[in-house]
Amino acid sequence: MVISAAHGDAPQRWHAANTVVAHAEVAGRIGPNAITRVAEALRERLGEEETADVFRAAGLATYLTSAPEAMVVEEEVARLQAQLRASLGATLAADISRDAGRRTGDYLLAHRIPKLAQFVLKWLPPATAAKILANAIGRHAWTFAGSGTFSFAPGRPFGLSIGGCPLCRDVHATQSACDYYAATFERIFTALVSRRSVVTETDCIASGGDACRFRVDW
């Protein structure tokens, strides 16, 4: 599949070898950070009462008293993201989602990405580090892409993609809706590839795209 990058850059080729399908045994489930970090971001920004209102409206109030520790059904994550937009409006919902994504990135750096690997990546040229990091992300795509697929396109800018994005299923919007993913990717790339890394969603299923694609610049 060939797509054109935003802002007039040369087309990028998305190789089948760089595509990872979620493992069958966990397809349709996502790591609990997609719930717990949203709760943290909401509490800090809006307080306990408004956080409870959002989670109650999404049918997820029990997660505020008993935070999930295992993989959650992806529909719950999608429902929470949709409720953020419905309750808070697109702008504030995006801010909360990005905050939650950064928190997720912090968690992954602290607990999931080996310190030795982090040390090595930081000393490599950015293009090399980005490809190694994307390969590692791909091997663990089942923890965040659910039943979707993750792929990447090496180069500068670097491309990341989630096909069948679970956050965008049945969502119709005039703007991108994957701020949570964009912020998570940006936090990790900023820490391990280049401090100047910026991740921008260039295509989104919610606004008519055939996949959710992210452009990584540094």
Query: For residue 18, what pLDDT is reported?
Result: 55
| CA 148 from centroid of its chain's CA atoms | 12
Query: For residue 173, what pLDDT is reported?
Result: 82
Pick the CATH number of 2-217 from 3.30.360.10, 3.90.1520.10, 3.30.530.20, 3.30.460.10: 3.90.1520.10
Q: Which two tokens stand for residue 176?
A: 């991108």
Confidence of residue 27 (pLDDT cuts 50, 70, 90): low
Q: What is the pLDDT of residues 38-92, one digit of tens each?
A: 999 999 999 999 999 999 999 999 999 999 999 999 999 999 999 999 999 999 9
| CA distances, 140 to each of 107, 122, 143, 210 (Å) | 15, 20, 6, 22
Residues 6+ apart with CB under 8 A from 211: 161, 162, 163, 164, 165, 203, 205
Q: Average pLDDT in the 102-122 region?
A: 97
Output 20 or 104, whichever has higher pLDDT: 104
Confidence of residue 174 (pLDDT cuts 50, 70, 90): confident
Global pTM value = 0.88
